[in-house]
Amino acid sequence: MSAPLRLMAVHAHPDDESSKGAATMARYVREGVEVLVCTLTGGERGSVLNPKMDRPEIVADIGEVRRAEMARAREILGVEQRFMGFVDSGLPENEEEELPEGCFALQKLEDASAPLVAAVRAFRPHVIITYDDDGGYPHPDHIMTNKVSVEAFDAAGDPDRYPGSGDPWQPLKLYYQMGFTKERFEALHEAMNERGLGSPYADWISRWEDRPAKWPVTTRVPCGDYFQIRDEALLAHATQVDPDGFWFVCPRELQEEIWPTEDYHLARSLVDTALPEDDLFAGIHADDVSPACH
Ligand SMILES: [Zn+2]
């Protein structure tokens, strides 16, 4: 192909890009694809989740600390990254708790989508990755991230929508990231038990409802060789990721052997492609790929 392919990943907070689809991005970047991460909020309301980093001077300056962490993760992954400028909504402790005024999840859809539409028109991605409509995990910012990503995918190519935010550009495929599937955790759980490592996932798996997936996996991207880069990027988010915690319980070598892919649901496609796929760009041909205009 003459012009490079371009991939955009839309995320709610700094650190989400390193825990959802990071090895996929690391692989594509190293294969010559241009990758842009759009981070909708600054993560200002994230708690410090790593006890080793829970110090007053860090808590007091969490916005700045998280920007520095994001810059480091971006370098490790090798991607471009931009903040879309919204304020973290925080994770409510119960259903009655009201979201803070002005936060991302309370924005009108059009206001919340405008910077992303502009980013799509400027970067001109062929493929966009985001979360499913449950947000992948029920944080109000993650659910809103799904809504604005779908809106941007549908509207960025329409010259009558979002006037003044650049020349129209229609991305070709939209994916939902499907990292937290029952099958994947069951496979890792079994492998850990077989090897006498003791799995911490039993309780969690037993509470998982046994029903057909709302968004079945259509696409598995082989990227086990990039799990190390993924882990390094995750560790760069030191306030959010405990090196002795959840993310690192299952040895990386075991993940590479048992589940060496990151998985996706193809939510929209304007090209013909045969399912299942092993490449996010499957079905996209040289004719579809026009040069970027940054
Ligand atoms: Zn998040």
Å from CA of 91 to ligand 1 middle: 9
Q: Which amino acid is at 84?
A: M
pLDDT in tens, 214-231: 899 999 999 999 999 999
pLDDT of residue 200: 86
pLDDT in tens, 157-186: 999 999 999 999 999 999 999 998 999 999
Helix (H) or strand (E) run with residue 142 in it: helix 140-155
Backbone angles phi, psi at 72, to 5 degrees: -70, -45
Å from CA of 112 to ligand 1 middle: 16
Å from CA of 20 to ligand 1 middle: 10
Residues in the annotated binding site for Zn(2+)? 13, 16, 142
Å from CA of 87 to ligand 1 middle: 12
Å from CA of 238 to ligand 1 middle: 14
pLDDT of residue 294: 46
Q: Which two tokens stand for residue 143?
A: 């659910």
Tell me the C-alpha distance between 229 and 31, whole Å: 15
State yes or no: pLDDT of 290 exceeds 70: no
Residues in the annotated binding site? 13, 16, 142
pLDDT of residue 209: 78
Local confidence band at 138 (pLDDT 50, 70, 90 cut-offs): confident
Å from CA of 83 to ligand 1 middle: 14
Å from CA of 106 to ligand 1 middle: 16
What pTM, to 2 d.p., does this model score? 0.95
Cβ < 5 A residues, ion ligand 1: 12-13, 16
Query: Beta-carbon neighbour count of residue 235 at 10 Å?
Result: 19
Burial 176-213 (b: 16+ CB within 10 A, else e): bbbbebeebbeebbebbeeeeeebebeeeeeeeeeeee
Average pLDDT estimate for 88-117: 94
Å from CA of 184 to ligand 1 middle: 21
Å from CA of 234 to ligand 1 middle: 13
pLDDT of residue 94: 84
Query: What is the crossing angle of helices 22-30 and 227-236, to 10°?
Result: 120
Average pLDDT estimate for 267-273: 97
